């Protein structure tokens, strides 16, 4: 089993990412950190703890990180995720506690305590990961790889050309991509294939777990808002696709390429430039997801949800 840390901003799809990381036997979830993104940090931190509480996951430390991006103001996405970030179900009390230490401290401690390099799965703006690499560069060799949901090889979802996580903190993305740590981008070009169809919802509900029942209420809300905002009634469940890269590498096809992020554009801030054709004649610096085995992906999520409370 692969040791992993999940850095997230729950968010409906982040919850499923946490569940896949906690519930699938291929991964060993060592820590969870939260960042301001879909909603403010106080909400994402509580929501991460609720996600673990509902799933019956205990003993995984949760710490809050950056409330705002490295240099820009925080932009949030209440129109997709609701005012509290987890619109839909009635939210239970989070019995999983919040650590007194901050996110970068928790990640650093987790990396130092591990007997082997640990992978970081990031499903929100990369602010926490960037702060860690900026302030504790000596820890880079202890990070096995970073797999991030964000960006796109095609169009965006926050602006015409920028995906939300990239757009919220493009400076963090830039720092992380330049850090030299093995980096994988799982963007909208593949996550838009992870569609929550009625068949998917039936399949998850059939596991009969409390986690699945809570998840069904999340999905109902998420599909409704995705229909309203994007005309996608089968909402794309972005974040667990990044987790799938580590759970079952054969499910997500990756391509090695050059990746850069727009930091200065007047209309394209946060757009990811993916140079598949080598036009820029720069060294490849990342892996980018280009295909998804949709059936097997949902099988992984189903297995995880069935294993949880």
Q: Which residues of the shown chain bind Ca ion in the complex (CB under 5 A)? A: 9, 11, 14, 123-124, 239
Closest CA to 262 of 173, 183, 143: 173
Give the chain's radius of gyration (CA, Å). Answer: 17
- Which residues lie below 8 Å from residue 254, measured CB to CB, with a gap of 6+? 184, 245, 287, 288, 289, 290
**Binding residues for ligand BDR, how many (CB under 6 A)?**
15
Query: Looking at beta carbons, which residue is closest to ligand BDR?
Result: 164
Is 262 a residue that touches ligand BDR (CB under 6 A)?
no
Given Ca ion, ligand BDR, none, residue 163, with its beta carbon under 5 to 8 Å by kind, binds ligand BDR
Choose, by CB under 6 A, the member of 45, 128, 157, 268 that binds ligand BDR.
Answer: 157
CA 59 to chain centre: 21
Q: Does 245 bind ligand BDR (CB under 6 A)?
A: no
Q: Distance (Å, rounded) from C-alpha 290 to C-alpha 154?
A: 11
272 binds ligand BDR (CB under 6 A): no
Question: Any idea what DSSP says for residue 26?
Answer: T
Residue 195 tokens read as 């569609």
Tell me if 13 contacts ligand BDR by CB under 6 A. yes
Minimum distance from residue 80 beta carbon to ligand BDR (Å): 6
The reply on whether position 163 binds ligand BDR by CB under 6 A is yes
11 vs 23, beta carbon nearer ligand BDR? 11
Q: How far apart are CA 197 and CA 223, in angstroms?
A: 9
Task: Identify the residue among 7, 169, 171, 239 touching ligand BDR (CB under 6 A).
Answer: 239
Nearer to ligand BDR, 96 or 188 (CB): 188
Nearest one of 53, 48, 56 to 84, comparing CA atoms = 48
Asked if 49 interacts with ligand BDR (CB under 6 A), we say: no
Under DSSP, the state recorded for 279 is T
| Residue 123 binds ligand BDR, judged by CB under 6 A | yes
44 scored as a contact of ligand BDR (CB under 6 A): no
Nearer to ligand BDR, 50 or 77 (CB): 77
Q: How far is the CB of 281 from ligand BDR (least distance, A)?
A: 30
d(CA 188, CA 108): 30
Dihedral in degrees, nearest 10, Cα atoms 166, 274, 133, 192: 50
Q: Which does 171 bind (CB under 5 to 8 A by kind): Ca ion, ligand BDR, none?
A: none
Contact partner, 174, from Ca ion, ligand BDR, none, Cβ < 5-8 Å per class:
none
Sign of the CA dihedral 51, 156, 130, 182? positive
Distance of CA 258 to the CA centre of its chain: 21
Rounded to the nearest whole angstrom, what is the least distance from the CB of residue 237 to ligand BDR in the complex? 9
The 183-186 sheet, strands edge to edge: 62-64, 27-34, 2-8, 118-122, 143-149, 183-186, 286-292, 252-257
238 is an active site residue: yes
Q: Site mask, ligand BDR, residues 209-238, x = CB under 6 A?
A: -----------------------------x
Active site residues: 238
Q: Which positions lie near ligand BDR, rule CB under 6 A?
A: 11, 13-14, 38, 77, 80, 123-124, 149, 157, 163-165, 238-239
């Amino acid at each position: 089993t692969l040791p992993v840390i999940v850095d997230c901003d729950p968010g409906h799809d982040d919850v499923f990412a946490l569940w896949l990381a906690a519930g699938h036997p291929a991964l060993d979830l060592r820590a969870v950190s939260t960042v301001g993104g879909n909603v403010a940090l106080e909400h994402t931190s509580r929501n991460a703890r609720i996600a673990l509480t509902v799933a019956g996951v205990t003993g995984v430390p949760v710490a809050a990180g950056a409330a705002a991006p490295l240099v820009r103001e925080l932009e949030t996405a209440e129109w997709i995720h609701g005012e509290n970030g987890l619109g839909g179900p009635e939210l239970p009390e989070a019995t999983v506690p919040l650590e007194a230490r901050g996110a970068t401290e928790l990640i650093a401690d987790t990396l130092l305590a591990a007997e082997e390099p640990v992978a970081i799965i990031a499903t929100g703006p990369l602010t926490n990961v960037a702060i860690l690499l900026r302030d504790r560069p000596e820890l880079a060799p202890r990070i096995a790889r970073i797999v991030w949901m964000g960006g796109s090889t095609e169009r965006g979802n926050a602006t015409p050309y920028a995906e939300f996580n990239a757009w919220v903190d493009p400076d963090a993305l830039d720092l992380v991509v330049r850090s030299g740590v093995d980096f994988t981008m799982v963007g909208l070009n593949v996550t838009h294939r992870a569609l929550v169809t009625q068949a998917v919802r039936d399949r998850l509900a059939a596991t009969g777990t409390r986690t699945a029942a809570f998840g069904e209420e999340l999905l109902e809300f998420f599909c409704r808002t995705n229909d309203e905002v994007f005309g996608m009634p089968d909402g794309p469940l972005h974040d667990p696709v990044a987790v799938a890269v580590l759970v079952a590498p054969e499910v997500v096809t990756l391509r090695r390429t050059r990746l850069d992020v727009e930091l200065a554009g007047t209309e394209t801030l946060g757009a990811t430039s993916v140079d598949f054709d080598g036009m820029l004649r720069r060294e490849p610096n990342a892996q980018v997801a280009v295909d998804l085995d949709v059936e097997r992906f949902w099988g992984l999520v189903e297995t995880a949800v069935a294993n949880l409370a």
